[in-house]
Amino acid sequence: MCWYLTGCGYLSFLVLTWLLFGLMSLGPAAFIFCYMKKRSEKSWPTKVDSNYRPRISIIVPTYNESSIILFKLINLSRLKYQKNLMETIIVDSNSSDDTVEVARQFSKREPQLCMDILAEKERRGKSHALNYALEHCKGEVIIVSDADCFWPSDILEKAIPFLADPAVGAISGPKILLNSNQTWVTRMEESYLRSANVLRLGETKAGSTVFFEGGFSAFKKEAFDRFDPYGTGSDDCGTVICVIEKNFRTLLVPEAEFYSTFPASFRGKLSIKLRRTNQLVRVFAKYLDLLLKGKVKLGKKTVVPNMLLYLFSPIAFVVFTILTVFLVFDFPFFLGIFAFLIVPKIRFYFGEIFESNMLLLTAIFGVVVGKGFSIWSQPEDRMWLTKETLSQFNLI
């Protein structure tokens, strides 16, 4: 009888501990999603002025983009915005192909476009290239777009009015995949992006979103000093730190959709996700430092929950996983608690959370030991950026 009670007490202790760490590891993600989804349905706390027309500078960083740079330039030439208020700066990081020559020839054929082409003598990373270009920008608003991302012609008309609000310092837009139905990997990424965009919109309406995309990011020149000032390796989210530190709001504008592609293989997906996760861990480590110094005020509602999610939940997830294995090994009937995974949607979200935590743990370990990840390498999905595909979506 004593043994039975001891055994019950032992099991109860393990289960309670398991539930605690499960809540600490999986709870923040569930709570943040539910809360932000509700906030995303609220009205806009932002002044929007459709007549707001600042002078803008569009920066396109390139490295060996000869296969797509012409498509990108054609795409930009179709933008509906006053040409006398717009300049485009191509900044090339010492490409070994004819990216620069293609850009120069296009500039000659389209003299009505105000285009400047800067060529670095050595490749020193994307953030360095953007800061080099920033020195040559004349616009009040600085917009960044990767060479493999394409904009609808009316994106500026829809997005720029959100910057009319004096409290808003930067805006970004949601990514739409051109090859979303290619493989199960791209279909999963499309589902992930839909959920992520709900979160970002909720963060926006709660105050500020801390996540930006390199496909379309627009910053008021007064709201930041340089790209990625703290060396996080993230030119988009790393720059948002500076904007929030200066007490400006940062928004996701749902209407500012841009188009790109995503790797079709699981290996390609992991490569991109691991690099991105490593950058985000560095970003939130910097937010933690700034919070402790009292330098983050307006963005606390979104910075703190995401900081918990990216820095602390993965540690709890390790303990949760170890306890799960231990419970299943000692009490096989415990496997029955995972019956909910037969529901496809639940299984999908559980898989995403598991994958994200594994990537975060790897990234945290990399940051702790000083391990960086390759930045700005060309993905495997460029083959989908064809004239036919881009024409189909009315992008060129």
pLDDT attached to residue 339: 62
Averages of pLDDT over each 10 residues, the chain, 396 residues: 52 80 80 88 87 96 93 95 94 92 92 90 91 95 96 96 96 95 90 91 92 94 95 93 94 95 88 89 92 84 86 87 80 67 66 80 80 54 83 92
Amino acid, single-letter form, for residue 76? L
- Listed in sequence order, the residues at least 6 apart from 123 whose beta carbon sits closer than 8 Å to its beta carbon are 63, 93, 94
| Domain annotation covers residue 61 | no
pLDDT attached to residue 365: 83
Question: What is the spatial distance between Cα 214 and Cα 146, in angstroms, rounded to a whole number?
Answer: 6
Q: Which domain holds residue 195?
A: 140-300
| Domain annotation covers residue 331 | no
| Domain annotation covers residue 323 | no
| Domain annotation covers residue 328 | no
| Domain annotation covers residue 78 | no
pLDDT attached to residue 10: 67
pLDDT attached to residue 2: 46
Locate all alpha helices (DSSP H) within the chain, ordered by sequence: 2-40, 69-77, 99-109, 126-134, 155-159, 184-206, 237-245, 266-292, 300-307, 313-330, 344-368, 387-392
Q: What is the CATH number of the domain that holds 289?
A: 3.90.550.10
Sheet of 86-92: strand order equals 115-119, 86-92, 56-62, 141-144, 217-220, 168-172, 249-252
Q: State whether residue 60 is helix, strand or coil.
A: strand
Question: What is the spatial distance between Cα 64 and Cα 92, in angstroms, rounded to a whole number?
Answer: 8
Structural domain count, the chain: 1
| Domain annotation covers residue 148 | yes
| Domain annotation covers residue 128 | no
Q: State whether residue 222 is helix, strand or coil.
A: helix
- Listed in sequence order, the residues at least 6 apart from 167 whose beta carbon sits closer than 8 Å to its beta carbon are 46, 248, 249
| Domain annotation covers residue 21 | no
pLDDT attached to residue 3: 43
